[in-house]
Structure 1
């Protein structure tokens, strides 16, 4: 575990995903798990100075050092997270 101690690693899905895409995946999961729950509505505003328009996580460090690659689809992981959090309500 010496390769892990004290190091930060990016974990990502290896595909660029917008915030709106993530919101749609979350809402799809909510509808599937609890159709009576209120969906999240986006609130679009003008970009602010310093906002990042595009980003893409580089997972090469964890891939090279620990031979890690994503094994759960983003939609599946978000659905499990939504399910866990809705069950806490």
Structure 2
């Protein structure tokens, strides 16, 4: 079978050495973690600000509704951008 190839060097024409690929991958993961933690942190802190005036149950319900709306809008956007088949269906 052969040994698995780990982090095969990429030709210079396709983006540089393995070190630059690792650096780009590290930057990408850093950006993903930063955005994810920032988004979750801001939403939880802002929800926490409303606990005192409205109560935990109301804030939790509102937070859940807002999260559900954001998820549904994301699903709708993905569904609208999905490629649709063109032309008549293939006959077998």
Shorter-normalised TM-score: what interval? under 0.3
TM-score (norm: length of structure 2) = 0.26
Higher relative contact order (CA 8 A, sep 6+): 1
In terms of fraction of residues, the more helix-rich structure is: 2
Q: In terms of Rg, which structure is larger?
A: 2
